[in-house]
């Protein structure tokens, strides 16, 4: 009789847990769409099934069996799962449904203006919900692993992933509600230096500064009243002092006086502070922050708002903007640099006008911006220390972290002074041993392929004029000469580096406390090179990370690093 009762409660719990988790997923999707009615329906369904599952897992036979050593292990896990699912439904998704309107793109963005007041009014409630979600995620991570029953082990893992997804959504919404009002001009007009990065010539934050604009925001309404080519910054300088570590690592490139080399570091705040300082000394005005964007991000935006038509009738679309701005523009204007820069500036102007005007589908635009942010193609820095601290909790900050968790950042910097990185393709792998001992062996491998066509290319694209004359003598045009740096886990030691199986010289330094190991390679067109770093790194806790530098290609790193 007892066994039958327990089996019935187990079936009831399993069925209702599955339906409750499915309903939580439905509520999350509706929340993302800002559909308050659908969110409420899913939440009601989730609450109903979660309550039934909790009653089943805390029934008399279940409680008795759960305390039996080893035998009761999966039953205890089931109770913990049911408790977290009920908490997600009742304490997180239900109150989130009540303010789903805040997440509605159509409500947030109207007539080219972000409703920053609505975000500000919702901030306290969003913060409370975000805290509740974070606590439930902590509880989900603490759920004990069952001694047997793989189905419950799988349910535990799935719930941990689900709670992390819900927490991430609400965390970033909470941060947006805290950041947006201040940064978008709810307390008075704000201005930002907007950098257009050209990732056909790689730099640490993505690409060389190709042009710029001054973005203004007043009560959520954006305008751009200044666009200019990078040559306007020629001769400008910055009086910043970013410390001895920065000077030691990057001082050779004159980052404070040569805008072309101002962003060798992958730590975006360094570049942002330099650009802000350069603009202040050139214009006599200080901006409130810096925003960076690249042509791939522009393609996502054009996919959302539609194509733009140039004054001569040329159509710029999501499908051609990257190729036009990073490749064919150099064939169209092979020697007339002024005309080329004006053409690129005109494209930027038309895209800005389209984006800051009336948008037919705010949801598509916000989705496009979100995709660009997730790939590091939009970066933001604020001169406000309060806002910057919040930004650094998001991918927008594009920072090198100052913690000890496993880290492998591959940073490409073009050394040839050309645009061959349009043709560069990357593969990245980070592998490490287990967690026994104070240190472990690890390997970071990067394959770089030069896919430049076997055909004449404009000199501006394929030359190697950035190299000292003596070094350029025997290197044919079209060869990609590049710096490949590994920003490694704090405390990591390099045992050696090889390129295509041969030992290669390594330059060592530090950035934000992380060791930096740099090699310099030449990749002929149509060929590839494998660079492998052999390391001994501390066995430290934390999620392993491989940040991807935003270049033209998309990279999905291959990681085999146990989390300690």
CATH no. for residue 369? 3.40.630
Structure-token pair, residue 547: 């940040």
- List C-alpha distances in Å: 436 to 127, 256, 490, 541, 542: 39, 44, 18, 12, 15
Regarding whether 530 and 437 lie in a shared domain, the answer is yes
From the list 180, 290, 212, 266, the residue with the least C-alpha distance to 511 is 266
Quote the CA–CA distance of 95 and 85 in Å, as a whole number. 15
CATH number at residue 433: 2.60.40
In what side-by-side order are the strands of the sheet with 408-414? 408-414, 480-488, 514-523, 507-511
Structure-token pair, residue 292: 């960076």
Select from 385, 415, 448 the last residue of a domain.
385
Residue 391 in any domain: the answer is: no
Which residues, in sequence order, are CB contacts of 196 under 8 Å at separation 6+?
209, 210, 211, 212, 213, 292, 293, 294, 344, 348
For the chain, the maximum distance between any two Cα atoms, rounded to a whole number of angstroms, is 90
Structure-token pair, residue 180: 């947006």
Residue 49 CB neighbours (<10 A): 23
Regarding whether 235 and 152 lie in a shared domain, the answer is no
Structure-token pair, residue 377: 């193609």
Regarding whether 306 and 261 lie in a shared domain, the answer is yes
**What is the model's pLDDT at position 102?**
62
Phi, psi angles (nearest 5°) of residue 447: -105, 125
**What is the model's pLDDT at position 384?**
97
Regarding whether 411 and 363 lie in a shared domain, the answer is no
Regarding whether 155 and 206 lie in a shared domain, the answer is no
Regarding whether 236 and 156 lie in a shared domain, the answer is no
Residue 396 in any domain: the answer is: no
Residue 97 in any domain: the answer is: yes
Residue 394 in any domain: the answer is: no
**What is the model's pLDDT at position 210?**
95
Select from 352, 385, 418 the last residue of a domain.
385
Regarding whether 373 and 272 lie in a shared domain, the answer is yes
Q: H-helix or E-strand containing 437?
A: none
Enumerate long-range contacts of 3-11, CB under 8 Å, 24 or more apart.
Answer: 5/59, 5/61, 6/61, 6/62, 6/65, 9/56, 9/57, 9/59, 9/61, 9/62, 10/56, 10/62, 10/78
Q: How far is CA 398 from the centre of its chain?
A: 7
Structure-token pair, residue 5: 């009762």
Regarding whether 220 and 125 lie in a shared domain, the answer is no
Residue 393 in any domain: the answer is: no
Task: State which residues form the domain around 147.
Answer: 2-183
Regarding whether 409 and 300 lie in a shared domain, the answer is no
Which residues, in sequence order, are CB contacts of 343 under 8 Å at separation 6+?
329, 332, 333
Regarding whether 287 and 178 lie in a shared domain, the answer is no
Regarding whether 155 and 12 lie in a shared domain, the answer is yes
| Per-position DSSP letters for 171-240, written without gaps between them | HHHHHHHHHHHHHTTTTS-EEEEEEEEEEEEEETTEEEEEEEEEEEEETTEEEEEEEEEGGGGTT-----
Structure-token pair, residue 204: 């640490």
Residue 449 in any domain: the answer is: yes
Which residues, in sequence order, are CB contacts of 563 under 8 Å at separation 6+?
406, 541, 542, 543, 544
Quote the CA–CA distance of 7 and 3 in Å, as a whole number. 6
Select from 183, 208, 236 the last residue of a domain.
183
Regarding whether 486 and 435 lie in a shared domain, the answer is yes
Return per-residue pLDDT of the chain as tens, 564 residues: 555 655 555 567 678 778 878 888 888 888 777 677 888 888 888 888 878 878 878 877 777 777 778 777 777 887 888 888 888 888 988 888 887 766 677 778 888 888 888 888 888 988 998 899 899 889 989 988 887 777 777 877 887 888 888 888 888 888 888 999 999 999 999 999 999 999 999 999 999 999 999 999 999 999 998 899 999 999 888 889 999 999 999 999 999 999 999 999 999 999 999 999 999 999 999 999 999 999 999 999 999 999 999 989 999 999 999 999 999 999 999 989 899 999 999 999 899 888 888 888 888 888 899 899 999 999 999 999 999 999 999 999 999 999 999 999 999 999 999 999 999 999 999 999 999 999 999 999 999 999 999 999 999 999 988 877 766 668 889 999 999 999 999 999 999 999 999 999 999 999 999 999 999 999 999 999 999 999 999 999 999 999 999 999 999 999 999 999
From the list 400, 385, 391, 394, the residue with the least C-alpha distance to 513 is 400
- List C-alpha distances in Å: 136 to 142, 182, 208, 514, 540: 10, 30, 43, 33, 25
**What is the model's pLDDT at position 473?**
65
Angle at 447 between CA 445 and CA 451, to 5 degrees: 170
- Domain total in the chain: 3
């Amino acid at each position: 009789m007892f066994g039958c009762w327990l089996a019935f409660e187990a079936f009831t719990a399993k069925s209702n847990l599955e339906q409750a988790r499915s309903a939580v997923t439905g509520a999350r999707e509706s929340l993302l769409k800002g559909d308050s009615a659908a969110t409420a329906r899913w939440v009601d369904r989730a609450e109903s099934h979660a309550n039934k599952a909790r009653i089943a897992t805390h029934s008399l036979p279940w409680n008795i069996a759960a305390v039996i050593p080893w035998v009761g292990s999966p039953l205890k896990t089931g109770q913990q799962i049911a408790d977290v699912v009920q908490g997600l439904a009742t304490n997180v998704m239900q109150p989130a449904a009540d303010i789903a309107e805040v997440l509605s793109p159509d409500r947030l963005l109207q007539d080219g203006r972000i409703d920053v007041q609505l975000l500000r009014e919702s901030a306290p409630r969003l913060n409370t919900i975000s805290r509740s979600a974070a606590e439930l995620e902590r509880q989900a991570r603490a759920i004990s692993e069952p001694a047997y029953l793989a189905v419950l082990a799988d349910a535990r893992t799935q719930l941990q992933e689900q709670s992390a997804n819900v927490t991430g959504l609400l965390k970033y919404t909470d941060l947006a509600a805290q950041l947006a009002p201040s940064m978008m001009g709810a307390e008075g007009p704000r201005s930002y230096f907007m950098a257009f990065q050209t990732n056909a010539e790689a730099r640490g934050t993505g690409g060389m500064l190709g042009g710029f604009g001054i973005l203004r925001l007043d009560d959520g309404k954006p305008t751009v009243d200044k666009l200019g080519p990078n040559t306007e910054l020629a001769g400008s300088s910055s009086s910043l002092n970013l410390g001895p570590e920065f000077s030691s690592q990057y001082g050779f490139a004159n980052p404070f006086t040569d805008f072309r080399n101002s962003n060798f570091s992958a730590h975006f705040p360094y570049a942002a502070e330099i650009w802000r300082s350069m603009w202040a000394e050139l214009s006599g005005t200080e901006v409130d922050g810096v925003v960076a964007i690249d042509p791939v991000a522009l393609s996502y935006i054009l996919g959302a708002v539609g194509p733009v038509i140039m004054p001569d009738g040329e159509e710029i679309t999501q499908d051609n903007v990257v190729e036009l701005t990073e490749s064919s523009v150099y064939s169209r204007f092979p020697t007339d640099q002024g005309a080329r820069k004006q053409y690129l500036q005109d494209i930027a102007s038309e895209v800005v006008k389209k984006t800051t005007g009336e948008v037919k589908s705010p949801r598509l635009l916000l989705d496009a911006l979100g995709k660009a942010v997730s790939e590091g193609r939009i970066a933001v820095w604020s001169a406000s220390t309060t806002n910057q601290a919040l930004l650094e909790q998001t991918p927008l900050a594009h920072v090198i972290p100052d913690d000890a968790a496993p880290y492998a950042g591959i940073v490409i910097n073009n050394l040839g002074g050309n645009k061959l990185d349009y043709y560069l393709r990357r593969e990245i792998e980070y592998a490490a041993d287990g967690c026994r001992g104070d240190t472990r062996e690890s390997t970071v491998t990067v394959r770089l392929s030069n896919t430049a066509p076997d055909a004449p290319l404009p000199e501006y694209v394929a030359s190697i004029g950035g190299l000292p004359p003596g070094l350029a003598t025997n290197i044919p045009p079209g060869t990609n000469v590049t710096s490949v740096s590994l920003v490694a886990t704090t405390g990591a030691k390099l045992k050696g580096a090889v390129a295509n199986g041969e030992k290669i010289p390594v330059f060592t330094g530090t950035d934000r406390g992380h060791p930096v190991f740099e090699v310099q390679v030449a990749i002929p067109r149509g060929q590839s090179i494998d660079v492998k770093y052999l390391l001994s790194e501390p066995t430290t806790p934390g999620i392993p990370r491989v940040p991807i530098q935003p270049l033209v290609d998309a990279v999905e790193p291959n990681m085999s690093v146990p989390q300690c």
